[in-house]
A and B are shown apart, each in its own frame.
Chain A
């Protein structure tokens, strides 16, 4: 998927994360801030990268502010931001690109 316009999903509440996606400069640029970055930084980066990969996003600036979110929440917020950037709200590929 292409990132058509900037989009945000998630909150800064505990156990959540806020994900912003913007059109990129030819690749994925990830800016990650996390309250648990020392312990979980690599795992969070991995989840974000895999989620973007499933959605076939190859060109985006991604900013994630993590407040101790579980993997399932990180995935959900990345997906919500990417689909929002495309204005898609129906016929989501549940169990396909979303899994």
Chain B
């Protein structure tokens, strides 16, 4: 399979939940909370002396637990460690869907991971091109290199901001207002769209401030982000709620898709729907609205 054509590249990823791969109680049934993706963590959540044990736990969970369609991403250890290659071999052999690279700073970082993923697919009999990659940007350098990172590999489906390390690098802290993340967020979403990949926001760690969390998600949704990294199941319904289109948006999107299909068959390029000028440029957006509506159970049509 050409990884660029892997249908999972564009799948819905509103909520991506971190889980410690070393904790059996966490990884046995996270699908009950309904996240779009889980990110099984071999990096920061796992203590240094448990790094080896976490891999066996991850491998068997990937092989034996039915995650019911939830995407299984593995966050590997950093490329400055001596663990990341074994992490990839274990993950690919286990059957993961994607690899998340922490602390990505250059296109070269993505290419190093890509090479090991490719070799592991061959070694463990996975379909070539089936394992995707995402890159976490956690430093000023990484954020500035967002575009070259997005374009580094046809396997790369998206980039994610990691706000904790990034704000340390900026010599500031997470304030809850988002002011310290503004530049990175804006730059990353532009880079991701320029490269045609997805873009995900950082975690919100204050579980006592759910109102602040809601505002944060509304902000990144308005900026164009595809979804948010999650640290607690309680955050999932809020994200999904904000990413659910209104009934009005769904009806309009359905009309747009139908009309564009019909009109383009008749050779008509520009026309109006409910008084609004519509052309082919609206097609992908309308399709995405319907996909989000379907995921939320709000649209049962077949478009």
Binary interface profile of B, 269-303, with partner A (CB < 8 Å = 1, else 0)?
A: 00000000000000000000000000000000000
Partner pick for B52 among A13, A14, A84, A99, CB 8 A cutoff? A84
Smallest CB gap from A96: residue in B: B93
Interface SS of B by simple majority: helix
A55-99 contacts to B, CB under 8 A, are: 69-73, 75-77, 79-80, 83-84, 89-92, 94-95, 98-99
A residues near B257, Cβ cutoff 8 Å: none
Number of interface residues of A (CB under 8 A): 26
Take A76-B60, A94-B93, A94-B94 as given contacts and tell me if A70 and B28 are in contact as well, using a CB distance cutoff of 8 Å.
Answer: yes
For the A-B complex, the count of residue pairs with Cβ-Cβ distances under 8 Å equals 69
A residues near B55, Cβ cutoff 8 Å: 92
Take A89-B52, A98-B56 as given contacts and tell me if A70 and B124 are in contact as well, using a CB distance cutoff of 8 Å.
Answer: no
Binary interface profile of B, 18-34, with partner A (CB < 8 Å = 1, else 0)?
A: 00000111001000000
Number of interface residues of B (CB under 8 A): 24
A29 within 8 A of B: no
A4 within 8 A of B: no
Compute how far the CA of A7 lies from the CA of B22 in the bound complex, rounded to whole angstroms: 17
B265 within 8 A of A: no
What residues make up the interface of A, taking CB atoms closer than 8 Å to B? Answer: 9-10, 13-16, 69-73, 75-77, 79-80, 83-84, 89-92, 94-95, 98-99
14 interchain pairs, CB-CB under 8 A: A10-B53, A13-B23, A13-B25, A14-B25, A15-B25, A72-B60, A73-B60, A75-B56, A75-B60, A77-B53, A77-B57, A89-B86, A92-B56, A94-B90
